[in-house]
Amino acid sequence: MNSLSVNANATVDGQQAYGDSRFPYVFACDDANATLEDTARWVAENREELLRLMRVHGAVALRGFPTSTVEAFDRVVSELQLENFPYKKSLSNAVRVNRTERVFSANEAPPEVRIFFHHEMAQTPLYPKYIFFYCEIPAQSGGATPLCRSDLLFQKLAERCPEFAKTCEEKGLCYTNVMPDSDDAKSGMGRSWQSTLGVQTREEAESRLGELRYSYEWMDNGCLKATTPPLPAVMEVAPGQKTFFNQLIAAYCGWSDDRNDPSKAIRHGDGTPLDSEAVNVAIELSEELCYDHQWVQGDVVLLDNTVAMHARRPFSGTRKILASLAEMRTHALTVS
């Protein structure tokens, strides 16, 4: 530790406790004279501990640090010394705008659009181990970022709907979405097929989809309907600790726009439909277990994407929450 005055026992409204675990774990900077250099040095010196706390608690919040600019957030993320996962290399369907090489807008969807709980990019074969958020401008009202411990959710889901939990774990999930021919910022999942796949032509798109083992169909209006291969719905992140690692809630509740129908967006890996009652239990549990992070300008929230899900509440006014991804991972359903 350096001379920077940091309270490691800080609290925030709504913070949760599960045994010895706090959700989120909070560090508050109490030093009015702290500089960005002090903060960068503190993050670098405490890198291993911050990564451990993310893994154990799911989320770590930094409040009161001198992170008043996007560049300061970029510096904090850089000091964690993790491999950058550029958004342009992801298969996410959200429209986003880069601010630096590693920092981009969290989502360009309109303020009235609710974004439901999900693990970032769990609906694709490529996902980030970590996702970091930063508040440049808090909303005038609303706009909280709900967080949910996915391991706790899966534990409770398995107790209440054991057959559904078992089916999700054994069969995985397939996701279907229709990508537009050009970015549609009015939708939370309006990224074009060219941008999503990193291609320019249909031929290149088909080659990329083949590599990813997606099935697909070209629509008359130039849109591309694509379905993933079976992907895991449950992840064992540590011995005996399983998380509900998927996009089931977001796809079932929120994949709705002029092109997409949520009722057709998701199936089990063998093509069978989901048990709607059990899905509704998962949705209820996510809200029961969630912590709503009420943003303060300069806040940084560090998530282990394999442990904690996130969402977005509707808001009014200007809201600018930025994000950064780190450590690209791959996954595929393994059937024994």
* pLDDT value, residue 1: 40
Is 161 domain-assigned?
no
Is 221 domain-assigned?
no
* pLDDT value, residue 92: 85
Is 316 domain-assigned?
yes
Is 26 domain-assigned?
yes
Residue 163, burial from CB neighbour count under 10 angstroms (0-12, 13-18, 19+):
exposed
> How many other C-beta atoms lie within 10 A of the C-beta of residue 20?
7
81: left (phi over 0), alpha (psi -120 to 50) or beta: left
Nearest to 88 by CA among 118, 126, 114: 126
Residue 97, burial from CB neighbour count under 10 angstroms (0-12, 13-18, 19+):
exposed
Q: Express each pLDDT in 140-174 by its tens digit.
A: 999 999 999 999 999 999 999 999 999 999 999 99
> Side chain identity at 25, as an amino acid letter?
Y
* pLDDT value, residue 326: 97
Q: Express each pLDDT in 311-325 by its tens digit.
A: 999 999 999 999 999
- The whole domain housing 11 covers 6-142+292-330
* pLDDT value, residue 95: 79
Nearest to 168 by CA among 251, 249, 269: 269
Q: Which residues of the chain, if any, have pLDDT below 70? A: 1-3, 335-336
* pLDDT value, residue 165: 98
Structure tokens at 21: 């675990």
Is 255 domain-assigned?
no
Q: What percent of the chain has pLDDT over 70?
A: 99
Is 220 domain-assigned?
no
d(CA 294, CA 204) in angstroms, rounded, equals 43
* pLDDT value, residue 261: 87
- What is the number of structural domains in the chain? 1
CATH number of the domain bearing residue 34: 3.60.130.10
How far the first Cα of the chain sits from its last, in Å, is: 47
Is 116 domain-assigned?
yes
CA angle 103, 117, 7 (to 5 degrees): 60
Is residue 126 within 8 Å of residue 325, measured between CB atoms? no
Count Cα atoms within 13 angstroms, Cβ side, for 99.
19
pTM of the model: 0.93
Is 103 domain-assigned?
yes
